[in-house]
C-alpha cells in the first residue's frame, strides 16, 4: 500500500507540475521569454514547478483550515451572548457535519484517480485507502494548530481543542462508511461534484442550527461535545475495519469516474448554456431605435435581460428587506440603534468588500462571451479596433446601469438607516453614503469589463484559462478583504472612494483602448 501511495503521489505532483508550467507560460513577459517546444522538457523549469507544487501541497494543508475557522466560526462569535467556549464548539460541530457530507474526498471524481486506477492499472483498493488516509491525516494536521489558537482565545479547554481535529476526521470517516453502505445495499452513488437535493436540504437545516440556535441561547455545552466526540471517534475506529474489508472500490469508481464525470466542467458549461438559452427572448417585439454598435448592444441587452438583470433584482430586493428589517429593529432596540448608527458613520470600508461580493460584472461578462463573443470573435471584422472599442463603450454603459440598481438601493438605504438611528452632525454624510456606494459599483463594473477585454480569459468551452486573469482576480479579492480591517469616518473614506474610482476608471479606460484590440480574442 505504501508503494501504491508513493506512486500515486508522484502522479499527482506530476499533474500539478504540468498545470503550473502551463500557468507560467500564460504570464505576461515571462511567458513570452520561455520556449514553446522545450518548455515541458526543461529540467530547470520542472524543478521550479515541482518546488512550487510541493509548497502548494503543504500550504493547502493549512491555509483553507485557517480561513475556515477564522471566517466561519471565530469572526461570528462576538454577535452571540451565549458562553464563548460553548458557542465555538457548537458552531464547529454542526459545520463539521456539513463538511463531512459535502467534502468526502473518496467520492470526488478527479482525473488523477482515473489515470491511477484505469490508465496505470493501480490496485483500486490500495490506491483509494492510502490516499484517503493521507487526506484524513492532512485534516488532523491542518486543523490542529488553528483549533488550538482560536479555541484558546475563545476560552475552550485545551483537551477539547486537541480532540477537535480527530472529531472532524472521525465524522468524515463515518459519512464515508454510510455512503459506501448506501452503494453496497442500494447501488446509490454519491458524487461530490453533484450532491443530491436532500443533502442541500440537510445543509440548510444544519446551518440554521449552527448559527441560529446560539442567537436564542441554545448551544452544545462542553460536556455534550466530549460525549459526541468520544462516540464519533469510537465509531470511526470500528469503521476502519469495514473500509479495509470493502472490495468494491474498482466497481464503484468505474461508475464515478465515467467520461461524463471526468469532463464535468464541460458538462456544467453545457448545462449553463442550455439554461441560458431558455432565458433568451426572441421575436419581433425585441426592437431598438439605436444605430451601429449601440443598436447591436441594445438588442443583446433586451434579449438577455432576464439573465443580466435577474441577479441584480434579487440582490436589490434582499438589500431592501434587510434595510427595512434593520430600521424596524432599531426602532424597538436602543442597543441595536446605536450599533447601526456606528456602522453607518465608521464602517463604510466594509462595504467595499460587500460591493465586491454582490457586483455582477464577472457574471455579465461571462454571459457576453457565452452568448455573443464566443461566436462573433470568429469573424475578422469583429476583432478590428473600431468594432472592439465601439462595442466596449456601449457595454460599459449597460454593465454600470445593471450594477447601479442594487447599489442605489443600498446607498439610499444606508442614508435612511443613518437618519433613523440618530443622524449625524455632518449633513454631507448622507450624500457621501449614496455617492460612494454608487462609485464602488461603477468601479467594479469598469474593473471587470476592462479585465475581460484586456485578458479575455475564456476558451471555446467558456472555461477561464488565463492565469493573469486569475492573479488579478485574487489580488482584487485580497485588497477588498483588507478593507474589512479598516475603520474610518464615512465622510473621509467616502470622498476618497469617489476620487479613487474616478481616477481608476479613467486610467482603466485608457488601458482598455490601448490593449483591448490586441488581446480581445478566444483562448486556445
How many domains does one find in the chain?
2
Q: Is residue 25 part of a domain?
A: no
Domain coverage including residue 239: 67-262
Confidence of residue 70 (pLDDT cuts 50, 70, 90): confident
Strand partners, 488: 347
Where does a domain end: 235, 262, 289? Answer: 262
Q: For residue range 505-523, what is the model confidence (pLDDT) as tens digits?
A: 888 888 888 888 888 887 6
Say if CB 345 and CB 428 are below 8 A apart. Answer: no
- Which three cell numbers mark 131? 490516499
Q: Is residue 53 part of a domain?
A: no
More confident residue, 415 or 339: 415
| Same domain assignment for residues 314 and 184 | no
Q: For residue range 117-157, what is the model confidence (pLDDT) as tens digits?
A: 877 788 888 888 888 898 999 999 999 999 999 999 999 99
Which of 184-188, 323-327, 428-432, 501-505 has the lowest average pLDDT?
Answer: 184-188
Map grid coordinates 480569459 to a residue. Answer: 457
More confident residue, 496 or 465: 496
In this prediction, residue 266 carries a pLDDT of 47
Residue 54 has pLDDT above 50, yes or no: yes
Instruction: Find, among 451, 442, 454, 428, the residue nearest to 501 by Cα.
Output: 442
Distance CA 463, CA 192 (A): 20
Q: Is residue 50 part of a domain?
A: no
Percentage of the chain modeled with pLDDT above 90: 20
Residue 264 has pLDDT above 60, yes or no: no
| Same domain assignment for residues 327 and 407 | yes
Q: Is residue 258 part of a domain?
A: yes
Confidence of residue 37 (pLDDT cuts 50, 70, 90): low
Q: Is residue 359 part of a domain?
A: yes
| Same domain assignment for residues 212 and 285 | no
| Same domain assignment for residues 219 and 342 | no
How many beta carbons lie within 10 A of that of residue 67, not counting itself?
12
Confidence of residue 22 (pLDDT cuts 50, 70, 90): low
Q: Is residue 151 part of a domain?
A: yes
| Same domain assignment for residues 310 and 455 | yes
Where does a domain end: 192, 227, 262? Answer: 262
Say if CB 141 and CB 65 are below 8 A apart. Answer: no
Where does a domain end: 262, 289, 321? Answer: 262
Residue 60 has pLDDT above 60, yes or no: yes
Judged by DSSP in three states, 73 sits in: coil
Most confident of 32-41, 170-179, 249-258: 170-179
| Same domain assignment for residues 324 and 205 | no
Residues 6 or more apart whose CB falls under 8 angstroms from that of 131 comprise 5, 8, 105
| Same domain assignment for residues 183 and 331 | no
Q: Is residue 513 part of a domain?
A: yes
| Same domain assignment for residues 227 and 367 | no
| Same domain assignment for residues 252 and 289 | no
Distance CA 125, CA 242 (A): 12
| Same domain assignment for residues 497 and 402 | yes
In this prediction, residue 196 carries a pLDDT of 59
Distance CA 482, CA 291 (A): 44
| Same domain assignment for residues 251 and 293 | no
More confident residue, 479 or 307: 479
Residue 257 has pLDDT above 60, yes or no: yes
- Which three cell numbers mark 489? 469616518
| Same domain assignment for residues 394 and 501 | yes
Q: Please, is 334 exposed, middle or buried when counting C-beta atoms within 10 Å of its C-beta (0-12, 13-18, 19+)?
A: exposed
Q: Is residue 46 part of a domain?
A: no
More confident residue, 403 or 198: 403
In this prediction, residue 141 carries a pLDDT of 95
More confident residue, 170 or 396: 170
Amino acid at each position: 500500500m505504501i508503494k501504491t501511495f508513493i506512486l500515486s503521489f508522484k502522479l499527482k505532483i506530476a499533474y500539478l507540475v504540468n498545470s503550473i508550467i502551463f500557468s507560467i507560460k500564460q504570464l505576461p513577459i515571462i511567458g513570452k521569454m520561455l520556449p514553446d517546444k522545450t518548455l515541458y522538457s526543461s529540467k530547470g523549469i520542472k524543478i521550479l514547478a515541482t518546488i512550487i507544487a510541493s509548497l502548494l501541497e503543504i500550504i493547502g494543508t493549512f491555509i483553507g483550515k485557517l480561513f475556515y475557522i477564522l471566517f466561519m466560526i471565530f469572526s461570528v462569535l462576538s454577535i452571540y451572548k451565549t458562553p464563548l467556549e460553548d458557542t465555538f464548539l457548537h458552531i464547529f460541530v454542526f459545520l463539521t457535519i456539513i463538511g463531512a457530507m459535502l467534502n468526502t474526498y473518496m467520492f470526488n471524481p478527479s482525473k488523477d484517480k482515473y489515470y491511477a486506477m484505469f490508465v496505470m492499472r493501480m490496485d483500486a483498493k490500495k490506491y483509494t485507502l492510502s490516499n484517503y488516509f493521507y487526506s484524513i491525516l492532512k485534516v488532523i494536521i491542518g486543523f490542529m494548530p488553528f483549533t488550538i489558537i482560536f479555541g484558546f482565545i475563545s476560552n475552550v479547554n485545551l483537551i477539547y481543542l486537541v480532540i477537535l481535529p480527530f472529531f472532524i476526521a472521525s465524522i468524515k470517516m463515518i459519512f464515508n462508511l454510510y455512503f459506501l453502505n448506501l452503494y453496497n445495499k442500494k447501488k446509490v452513488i454519491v458524487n461530490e461534484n453533484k450532491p443530491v437535493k436532500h443533502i442541500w436540504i440537510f445543509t440548510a437545516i444544519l446551518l440554521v442550527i449552527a448559527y441560529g440556535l446560539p442567537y436564542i441561547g441554545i448551544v452544545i455545552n462542553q460536556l455534550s461535545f466530549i460525549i459526541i466526540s468520544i462516540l464519533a471517534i469510537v465509531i470511526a475506529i470500528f469503521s476502519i475495519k469495514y473500509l479495509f474489508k470493502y472490495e468494491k472500490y474498482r466497481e464503484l469508481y468505474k461508475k464515478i469516474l465515467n467520461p461524463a464525470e471526468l469532463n464535468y466542467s464541460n458538462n456544467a458549461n453545457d448545462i449553463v448554456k442550455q439554461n441560458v438559452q431558455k432565458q433568451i427572448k426572441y421575436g419581433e417585439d425585441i426592437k431598438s431605435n439605436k444605430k451601429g454598435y449601440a443598436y447591436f448592444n441594445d438588442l443583446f441587452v433586451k434579449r438577455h435581460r432576464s439573465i443580466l438583470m435577474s441577479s441584480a433584482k434579487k440582490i436589490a430586493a434582499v438589500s431592501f428587506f434587510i434595510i427595512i428589517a434593520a430600521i424596524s429593529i432599531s426602532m424597538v432596540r436602543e442597543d441595536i440603534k446605536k450599533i447601526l448608527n456606528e456602522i453607518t458613520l465608521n464602517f463604510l470600508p466594509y462595504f467595499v468588500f460587500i460591493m465586491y461580493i454582490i457586483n455582477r460584472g464577472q457574471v455579465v461578462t461571462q454571459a457576453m462571451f457565452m452568448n455573443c463573443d464566443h461566436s462573433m470573435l470568429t469573424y475578422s471584422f469583429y476583432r478590428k479596433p473600431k468594432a472592439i472599442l465601439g462595442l466596449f463603450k456601449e457595454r460599459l454603459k449597460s454593465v454600470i446601469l445593471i450594477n447601479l440598481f442594487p447599489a442605489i438601493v443600498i446607498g439610499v438605504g444606508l442614508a435612511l438607516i443613518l437618519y433613523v438611528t440618530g443622524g449625524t452632525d455632518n449633513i454631507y454624510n448622507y450624500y457621501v453614503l449614496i455617492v460612494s456606494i454608487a462609485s464602488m459599483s461603477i468601479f467594479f463594473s469598469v474593473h471587470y469589463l476592462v479585465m475581460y477585454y484586456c485578458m479575455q480569459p475564456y476558451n471555446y468551452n467558456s472555461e477561464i484559462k488565463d492565469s493573469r486573469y486569475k492573479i488579478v482576480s485574487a489580488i482584487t479579492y485580497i485588497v477588498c478583504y483588507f478593507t474589512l480591517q479598516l475603520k474610518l469616518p464615512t465622510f473621509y473614506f467616502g470622498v476618497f472612494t469617489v476620487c479613487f474610482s474616478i481616477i481608476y476608471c479613467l486610467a482603466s479606460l485608457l488601458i482598455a483602448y490601448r490593449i483591448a484590440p490586441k488581446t480581445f480574442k478566444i483562448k486556445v
